[in-house]
Amino acid sequence: MNSTEKLKRISLLVDSFSEGGAERVMVTLANTYLNWGYQVDFIVIRDIGLYKDQLSKNAKKIVLYNGSHSLTIINRLKRKISVYLSLLLYFCHDSPDVFMVTMRRDNIIASKIYNLFPQHFPLILREADVIVEDEGKEINEMKRWYKKAPFVIANSECTKDDLIKKIKLDKNSIIRIYNPMLLPQNIERAKNKNIRIIGCGRLVAKKNFADLIQVFSLIYNEYPEAELTIIGEGEERTNLEALIKSLNLENAIHMPGSVLNPYDYYSKADVFVQTSLYEGFGYVLPEAMACGTPVVAYDSKGAMREILADGKYGILVIPGDLDSLKKAILKQIISPTPYVLLKEAVERFDKEKICHEYLQVFENAINKNANPN
């Protein structure tokens, strides 16, 4: 599958193996390119997380920081120094053909170090989220350092639009590439007697699971045999559990934590609901659709409208409108989006297709680096 003489060794940098979409993308790319015959340096700042054991043993894993992961000021400083020095040494002594990094903070760090000295290989930045208004300092850093990369990959049209309008990047330097998905085969859909609703994602504020719990309480009042499962882990668990307790829903709402393969959960649900405040892409929505599970999502900032094609592949709801959200959920249970449409939707994210799109950017960047004029 390795089809270019110039591109043989690919270097990928990510913060950790945590349960985020960016981390999954990088592990998926690494494993795919190794299977296709490329060499892959997988550089990780913190060697922790759900997807750690999913990285192929054939990858050359390089860990930039092996110290404590607690968030004290001293540990943060140690980690920052270790990352800067380790990455500087890598740039000086290793010779990948292309180097790609994802996650905003790491993009800025890598760009700063990369531009200290002339490099013979191109740096590609991957932006994994939309830009919200309270990120002023970070936006200024992005404006300075993102423009130094030959190409910036955006994970959705909304993310790309933010880079053009808010970071003032040349639109010709930004390539939209969706997240790669290994589409499940032969998924068996469960036939439920009772309503089963599911949500999935890190338990953080931006995912806004409180709204999902609140709307479930409205549904539960009418359908007391209904169940809600929220897959994921994070800092909001305590707050969400307190909300569940206050609504007397401890026996109806299940929070199993992080799950490596959520497909089994999706296939047993009647409807998947996403109530995020914003999302750059969001793996979970197309994953559920790939399992034949109809979806409802807040029409909030990000790729939800893009993924659902303005409502063709699922129902979009105004954020915060719990009554409309409830009606949309019940509508998908009674008259779900046809499977043929769900299948059509997720074919855009096929792993093989997406990984080839990344390769094309890598090759273009190598050519541009070799012929800057």
Shared domain for 150 and 176, answered yes or no, is yes
Q: Determine the angle formed by the axes of helices 209-222 and 237-246, rounding to 10 degrees.
A: 20
Which residues lie below 8 Å from residue 178, measured CB to CB, with a gap of 6+?
155, 156, 281, 348, 349, 354
Name the pTM for this structure: 0.91
Average pLDDT over residues 143-167: 95
Give the C-alpha distances (Å, rounded to integers) separating 74 from 82, 113, 168: 12, 22, 35
- State yes or no: pLDDT of 215 exceeds 90: yes
The total number of structural domains that make up the chain: 2
Q: The domain spanning residue 107 has which CATH number?
A: 3.40.50.2000
Shared domain for 135 and 224, answered yes or no, is no
Shared domain for 239 and 136, answered yes or no, is no
Shared domain for 35 and 67, answered yes or no, is yes
- In this prediction, residue 108 carries a pLDDT of 95
CB hemisphere CA count around 116 (13 angstroms): 14
- State yes or no: pLDDT of 186 exceeds 80: no
Answer whether 361's CB lies under 8 Å from 151's CB.
yes
pLDDT digits (tens, 9 = 90+) for 325-371: 999 999 999 999 999 999 999 999 999 999 999 999 999 999 988 77
Shared domain for 14 and 131, answered yes or no, is yes
Residue 358 maps to a domain: yes
Residue 126 maps to a domain: yes
Phi-psi region of 248 (alpha: psi -120 to 50; beta: other; left: phi over 0): left
First to last CA, the chain: 30
Average pLDDT over residues 171-195: 86
Residue 185 maps to a domain: no
Shared domain for 122 and 173, answered yes or no, is yes
Shared domain for 172 and 27, answered yes or no, is yes
- State yes or no: pLDDT of 133 exceeds 80: no
92-101, 132-141, 142-151, 299-308, range with the lowest pLDDT: 132-141
- In this prediction, residue 5 carries a pLDDT of 63
- State yes or no: pLDDT of 176 exceeds 70: yes
Residue 147 maps to a domain: yes
pLDDT digits (tens, 9 = 90+) for 235-280: 999 999 999 999 999 999 999 999 988 999 999 999 999 999 999 9
pLDDT digits (tens, 9 = 90+) for 18-29: 988 899 999 999
Residue 52 maps to a domain: yes
Rounded to whole angstroms, the Cα distance separating 111 from 124 reads: 9
Shared domain for 236 and 342, answered yes or no, is yes
Residue 284 maps to a domain: yes
Residue 307 maps to a domain: yes
Shared domain for 125 and 207, answered yes or no, is no
> What's the domain range around 243?
196-349
- State yes or no: pLDDT of 4 exceeds 60: no
Q: What percent of the chain has pLDDT over 90?
A: 82
Answer whether 179's CB lies under 8 Å from 21's CB.
yes
- State yes or no: pLDDT of 2 exceeds 80: no
Shared domain for 262 and 168, answered yes or no, is no
Shared domain for 283 and 357, answered yes or no, is no
- In this prediction, residue 363 carries a pLDDT of 95
Shared domain for 306 and 173, answered yes or no, is no
- State yes or no: pLDDT of 187 exceeds 80: no
